[in-house]
Amino acid sequence: MIISMKPEATTEQIEHVCEKIRSYGYIPHPIYGETRTVIGAVGSGNNRAALQALEGAPGVESVVAIRQPFKLVGRELKPQKSTIRVGEVVLGSHQFVVIAGPCSVESREQIVATARAVRAAGATILRGGAYKPRTSPYDFQGLEEEGLKLLAEARETTGMRVCTEVMTPEQVELVERYTDILQVGARNMQNFALLKRLGKAAKPVLLKRGLSATIKEFLMSAEYIVSQGNPQVILCERGIRTFETMTRNTLDIAAVPLLNEISHLPVVVDPSHATGKRSLVAPMAKAAVAAGADGLIVEVHPNPEEAWSDGAQSLTFQEFELVMEGVKKYLPLEQKHL
Ligand code: PEP
Ligand code: MN
């Protein structure tokens, strides 16, 4: 339910309503707007009639139901777009945020050289996996803590913020110590134990859409994190599995404006995993800008031919520079800048 307070409602009246909501078995989520406060009453309580009756409480203007199942991440409760700050960078603003780097952290030279190159081309956040969710158990699984240390070194030498994947609830504490953004991979989008644990984390979470997840399922996963207390979730469209075999996945470009319509969370696009093909990254990056994305996450490697994972979709430094040049031309059309 959404309890809208009158513009002149006092702090005591707002606190009183929150207290009532708690007493009915729901959790109050107040959102303090410029002119009024609205309070979302969310949870598994079954006393909707009591919530409805709050219409008569002092300072309350109206009580209406939230129709969508994603209560906290939807626009019904919070119509204005959310912004998420990562150092100097603000996702969900006019700033277009580019996260770039290798699929996996492989060595000091590899990660530092990539960080320097992508930063020079306009990226502000460095990506690199230290824990890799691989389809085959015989494939490279990541450098683990050693990889996190190398990422931290690259962060130190270049000043870039970093984004890296976390695969289990047990890893969160360690990964959080080294990274600025905690990435949830597509294969873990419905790892509910992980999502709940990330809801207790203090850092933003980049949540990737599952391989076969509907938009509703995607947003329900975001709801898991936000409902546990962490409002900093970035949605990532990274392609979904379809009947098409010429691309690794099918980029659901319509998901971007749709997510923007129904959710207030920032949305980024991953044209690398969405296509699996180096040549398709540039056009899909431009499509992401046109569709209203808040940023990109792109795989870049000093020598893609020798990459330990995802070489076919990774860009050379020069190719990444060209992608950025293309993107920069499109940004002003969408009132965005790097
Ligand atoms: C990755 O970012 O390298 C990755 C494994 O992506 P996804 O989870 O989208 O497949
Ligand atoms: Mn990858």
In the chain, the N- to C-terminal Cα span, in Å, equals 38
Measured in degrees and rounded to the nearest 5, phi and psi for residue 41 equal -110, 110
- Asked if residue 107 has pLDDT above 90, the reply is yes
Q: What is the arithmetic mean of pLDDT over 89-111?
A: 98
Would you say 45 and 32 are in contact if contact means Cβ atoms under 8 Å apart? no
Mean pLDDT, the chain, integer: 97
**From ligand 1's centre to the CA of 152, what distance in Å?**
20
Would you say 21 and 39 are in contact if contact means Cβ atoms under 8 Å apart? yes
Q: How large a percentage of the chain has pLDDT more than 70?
A: 100
Give pLDDT tens digits for 131-175.
999 999 999 999 999 999 999 999 999 999 999 999 999 999 999
Report the atom number in ligand 1 closest to the C-alpha of 310.
3
pLDDT at residue 244 in the model: 98
Burial 293-330 (b: 16+ CB within 10 A, else e): bbbbbbbbbbebeebbbbbebbbbbebbbebbeebbeb
**From ligand 2's centre to the CA of 314, what distance in Å?**
8
Nearest-CA residue for atom 4 of ligand 1: 185
Angle in degrees, CA 198, 311, 204, rounded to 5 = 15
- Asked if residue 45 has pLDDT above 90, the reply is no
Q: Distance between CA 38 and CA 28 in Å, rounded?
A: 10
- Asked if residue 195 has pLDDT above 90, the reply is yes
DSSP state letter for 88: T
CA 203 to the chain's CA centroid: 11
Q: Tokens for 201?
A: 């984390």
* Residue 266 region by backbone torsions, left for phi larger than 0, else alpha for psi between -120 and 50, else beta: beta
Q: What is the arithmetic mean of pLDDT over 211-219?
A: 98
Q: Distance between CA 96 and CA 124 in Å, rounded?
A: 10
pLDDT at residue 34 in the model: 87
Report the atom number in ligand 1 closest to the C-alpha of 270.
9
- SS3 of residue 287 by DSSP: helix
- Asked if residue 65 has pLDDT above 90, the reply is yes
Nearest-CA residue for atom 9 of ligand 1: 186
Q: What is the arithmetic mean of pLDDT over 29-46?
A: 92
Q: Specify the pTM.
A: 0.97
Ligand 1 pocket, Cβ-based, cut-off 6 angstroms: 103, 129, 133, 185-187, 208, 238, 273
**From ligand 2's centre to the CA of 192, what distance in Å?**
22
Q: What is the arithmetic mean of pLDDT over 219-225?
A: 98
Q: Distance between CA 245 and CA 323 in Å, rounded?
A: 24
Give pLDDT tens digits for 264-284.
999 999 999 999 999 999 999
Residue of 191, 238, 297 to test ligand 1 pocket, by largest number of atoms within 8 Å of CB: 238
**From ligand 2's centre to the CA of 208, what distance in Å?**
12
